[in-house]
Amino acid sequence: MTQRMMAAVLHGKEDLRLEQVPIPHACAGELVVRVGVALTCGTDLKVYRRGYHAMMLKPPMPFGHELAGTVVEVGAGVTAFKAGDRVVALNSAPCDVCFFCRHGQQNLCEDLIFNNGAYAEFIRIPARIVEKNTLLIPDGVPFEHAALTEPLACVVRGMEESGAQAGSSMIVIGAGPIGVMFMQVAALSGVHVIAVVKRDDQVETARLFGAEQVVQIGEGVDVVEAARALTPEGRGADVVIEAVATPMTWEWAVDMVRKGGVVNFFGGPPSGTRVELDTNRLHYGEITLKASFHHTPATCRTAFELIASGRFKSAEAITGRVGLEEVPAIFDRMLDRATSGREIKTAVFPGGVPR
């Protein structure tokens, strides 16, 4: 008789259901992990809102991709892991043989495989992710901290691509999970951070994660002028990170950066979105516009070291703890950020919230 487990399955737009599904088994090269914790994510929220993700999943499909847990089954040929190991398994792995992988852009791999199904009691880890992007968790590092590796790895890559150095100035637009992670990683790198936030609770959060100065969006506030006024001589920031994903904030980012500076459009608006940019300012100001997508095995390891060393404020990033049965309600609440309060990451414990 097939053994079954509880899992959150996405069926379409805002249609997330808890269902009994078969417990997976490990084929050659694979692992099965008992999920110790899964974390909510802005990407998951976008997928929940839209009902699909062109690259990662099409419904109906198990949901969630940030996790850590314990190995319970080891497939044939796996020698690096054994039953009982505590691991963080990333949500993707590159092929390392395609054009993009050979040109140092593994995040753009033509055969990038993804794994979903973290909001469940067990999850199967594909062989390539076992080989390239599964890491042993040191004793003393909680599962919920280790599970932050995936989003933090994306931020680490965004920082590397932006070229910020110690002493640089950076404006971060947005104080959601990714925005505050950028603030923290930048502050740890010696970068002077100015945060642009919307809600009252985000002012405190931005300062907690390393922002030295904060601009709050409000009626009558010229956000661009207010942010530039906080930069050296009012010339604009060396680097601006856009972490909201709206046309307005993309345009703000270009207006907030200094001549010769870098804008990283980290937040991805929906397909087909258009923005208007001042071509004169871009050209004569020699402004570099970049966008960063996803992570690489190297940035995953850098992020993991930040967490394992205790340098990153992992505990502060976990703002809620729930059981698996609460996942659909959590995503319903996340749809309205104005009423969800100070939420960064909610830790979902399939085995029940630890006391």
**Any domain includes 302:** no
Looking at the fold, whether 320 and 343 belong to one and the same domain comes out as yes
Please give the span between the terminal C-alpha atoms of the chain, in angstroms, as a whole number: 34
Looking at the fold, whether 227 and 319 belong to one and the same domain comes out as no
**Any domain includes 354:** no
> Judging by DSSP bridges, how do beta strands 86-89 and 92-93 pair with one another?
unpaired
Task: Categorize the per-residue pLDDT at 54 as very low, low, confident or very high, splitting at 50, 70 and 90.
Answer: low
**Any domain includes 193:** yes
DSSP conformation class of 98: S
**Any domain includes 163:** yes
Task: Categorize the per-residue pLDDT at 28 as very low, low, confident or very high, splitting at 50, 70 and 90.
Answer: very high
Within the chain, strands assigned E span 4-12, 15-22, 31-39, 61-62, 67-74, 86-89, 92-93, 113-114, 122-125, 134-136, 169-173, 192-197, 213-216, 237-242, 257-265, 288-290, 318-323, 345-349
Looking at the fold, whether 204 and 256 belong to one and the same domain comes out as yes
Looking at the fold, whether 71 and 173 belong to one and the same domain comes out as no
Looking at the fold, whether 204 and 125 belong to one and the same domain comes out as no
For the residues 247-262, what does the mean pLDDT come to?
97
> How does pLDDT run across 155-182, given as a tens digit for each residue?
999 999 999 999 999 999 999 999 999 9
Domain interval for residue 160: 155-290
CA pair distance 157, 129, nearest whole angstrom: 19
Residue 141: CATH number of its domain: 3.90.180.10
Number of domains forming the structure of the chain? 2
For the chain, the average pLDDT equals 94
All residues at 6 or more sequence positions from 106 whose CB lies less than 8 Å from its CB, including other chains: 94, 96, 100, 112, 296, 297
**Any domain includes 304:** no
**Any domain includes 218:** yes
Looking at the fold, whether 137 and 187 belong to one and the same domain comes out as no
Helices and strands (DSSP H and E) totals, the chain: 14, 18
Asked if 195 contacts 211 with a C-beta cutoff of 8 angstroms, the reply is: yes
Residue 260 clears pLDDT 90, i.e. is over it: yes
pTM for the whole thing? 0.95
For the residues 104-131, what does the mean pLDDT come to?
97
Determine the pLDDT at residue 49.
Answer: 83
Residue 1 clears pLDDT 70, i.e. is over it: no
Phi, psi of 281 (to 5 degrees): -65, -40
Residue 191: CATH number of its domain: 3.40.50.720
Asked if 213 contacts 197 with a C-beta cutoff of 8 angstroms, the reply is: no
Residue 2 clears pLDDT 90, i.e. is over it: no
Cis peptide upstream of residue 60 (ω within 30 degrees of 0): yes
Looking at the fold, whether 129 and 160 belong to one and the same domain comes out as no
Looking at the fold, whether 128 and 210 belong to one and the same domain comes out as no
Looking at the fold, whether 213 and 87 belong to one and the same domain comes out as no
What does R_g of the chain's alpha carbons equal in angstroms?
Answer: 20
Determine the pLDDT at residue 334.
Answer: 87
Of the three residues 290, 323, 341, the one that is the final residue of a domain is: 290
Residue 355 clears pLDDT 90, i.e. is over it: no
**Any domain includes 299:** no
Looking at the fold, whether 16 and 87 belong to one and the same domain comes out as yes
**Any domain includes 300:** no
Looking at the fold, whether 23 and 140 belong to one and the same domain comes out as yes
Looking at the fold, whether 164 and 135 belong to one and the same domain comes out as no
